[in-house]
A = this chain, B = another copy of it.
Amino acid sequence: MSVTDDTARTPGTRKLAELSGPDVAARFTADTIVVQPTGAVEHHGPHLPLLTDFLLADHIGGAAVDRAAAEGLDVWQLPTLAFTKSDEHSWAPGTVWLDAATMFDTVVQVGRAVALTGAGTLVFANGHGGNVALLQVALREIRKRYELKTFLMPTLARLPGPDGEDADELGLGIHGGAAETSMILHLRPDLVDMSRAERWVPEHVAGFEKIAFNGGPVSFGWLSDDFGTPGVVGDASRASASYGAALWEHSLAEAVASLHEIARFDPRPPA
């Protein structure tokens, strides 16, 4: 069965909301995967647009859905959530942040709606690190309430730094640094002001053995104005469009590969 040729008027679209309600009801099955990109509108320093994380989630999420569909998956994209849990930047004008409870209720209600479509799987394609923990809580809540299979995948996959393995971001290039700046330079160079891009690496939080932003055994609570930088953590000055292009392709490939894994993953044992 071809999933793309039975709706004459929207050939090829993978945007769920471009279908009609009855089309959704007719086409979606337990094998259908719905992707909800989650971005952010939040301060990313003087050189990047507020829209940075939205752009990553929206473009990678959308491109991954299209490519995975072309490769045979029954996968669909919901409109990207623009306003999410950006409270670590709530000191900075331009940030639009939801409280944790509101964000949680929103994504759980997305799950409720996806369950109604008949789809069996919901995937959050997330462009904003500040959403990760909350979305992980939501994965379980949605599975428990609505019995969907639920997943969370990132829309930015790391590569060695532009000048080699992490160069000197010291593992701290997490917000507005070389990676994100490069990707926006690649995607929307008109929105980047490299004349304002600097190295903002808070060296005093580097080099700890246990405590890390990601992946260490000890997590810590932080706000983006904690570090003595203008709300950025990373070295924006090393960004380049070419590195962005490489990150772009790598992130997309990772997202597509993840969707393929998701399509064949089931926590339940084989019958």
| Chain A residues within 8 Å of B, Cβ to Cβ | 8-10, 15-25, 28, 41-51, 54, 78-79, 81-83, 85, 87-90, 92-102, 104-106, 109-110, 113, 116-118, 130, 132-144, 148-154, 157, 190-193, 196, 202, 204-205, 208-211, 215, 217-223, 226-228, 230-231, 254, 257-258, 261-262, 265-270
Contact = CB atoms under 8 A, between A and B. Distances in A.
B97 A18 contact: no
Nearest to A111: B221
A11 to B, nearest CB: 8
Given A54-B79, A140-B221, A94 B134 contact: no
B94 A117 contact: yes
A41 B78 contact: yes
B218 A151 contact: yes
B116 A95 contact: yes
Nearest to A24: B94
Given A10-B49, A93-B116, 10 more contacts: A16-B41, A17-B41, A18-B50, A19-B49, A21-B46, A23-B46, A41-B78, A132-B133, A141-B221, A202-B267
Contacts of A45: 20-21
29 contacts: A9-B190, A16-B50, A20-B45, A20-B46, A21-B45, A21-B231, A24-B50, A28-B93, A51-B79, A54-B79, A78-B82, A78-B96, A79-B82, A87-B140, A87-B141, A93-B118, A96-B109, A98-B109, A99-B105, A100-B104, A139-B219, A144-B223, A149-B221, A153-B210, A208-B265, A218-B261, A222-B267, A227-B268, A228-B269
A227 B20 contact: no
A10 B50 CA distance: 13
Contact of A220 (B54, B82, B130, B151): B151
Nearest to A153: B218
Contacts of A231: 21
A82 B257 CA distance: 28
A18 B191 contact: yes
A227 B88 CA distance: 37
